[in-house]
Amino acid sequence: MSQLEVDLRYLGVLEKALHIAGELGSEAAVRYIRYSYRLLSKVYHPDLHQENRQAAEEGQRRLNAVKERLDMTSDQDLGQFLKASAKPNTGHPRVLVVEDEEGLANNLADLLSLEGYHVATAPDGLAGLRRHLTFRPELVITDILMPIMDGVEMVRTLRQRDPEIKVIFISGFFGTRSIQNELMQELDRFGYPSLAKPFRPSQLLELLRRALGG
């Protein structure tokens, strides 16, 4: 991990900066990084934390060290770093698992990682859209009924970004008739495969290989 990555993770801005770079470009992401430092510097000002002054002073010292390194890093170099960080891994397919059941999401991630896939997870459709921007998967495995945004709506939005995105729907039940009808339309129109929970790992891996042409 480079020092720049360490600094940006300390500031808590790396993932959001990559998200902004994917949506608005690296120039906007660089502005966000530099503004975030200035905001945190004000938040950690020791005069504002008399009861926790020691912790604030330590935080301020760390922020000052980060600032010195950021001041020596040009906007162009920051932008190049973000572009390089957003580049997908090569050599193995990338799979995004969007599933609100944390245990199942982790189990699927472990299974796919053991099979050699690069895997990322998200707990709902909206988070899946955000993760897609930085992870750039070739295939998405998604539950259907999830909080905030369901899998069908997420896939429709993803398809606007990437018309060739490959998808596998998984679900234990279809829920309302409207959701079921929408899903059937998606499956019929785009030929997405689906799996009913519970399913065997071998079933998912076989669908995955066929979807990716392997």
Asked which of 86, 110, 135 is the last residue of a domain, the reply is: 86
Range of the domain at 201: 94-211
pLDDT digits (tens, 9 = 90+) for 177-213: 556 677 777 887 888 898 888 899 999 999 999 998 8
Q: What CATH code is carried by the domain that includes residue 105?
A: 3.40.50.2300
In the sheet with 118-122, reading across from the earlier edge strand, the strands are 118-122, 94-98, 139-143, 166-171, 194-196
Counted domains in the chain: 2
* 79 shares its domain with 133: no
Tokens at 184, concatenated: 């059937």
- Average pLDDT, whole number, for the chain? 86
Do residues 166 and 132 lie in contact, with contact meaning Cβ atoms separated by under 8 Å?
Answer: no
**Phi first, then psi: what are they for 119, rounded to 5°?**
-130, 140
Looking at residue 161, what is its pLDDT?
84
Looking at residue 87, what is its pLDDT?
58
* 167 shares its domain with 105: yes
Question: Residue 160 CA to chain centroid, in angstroms?
Answer: 17
* 135 shares its domain with 61: no
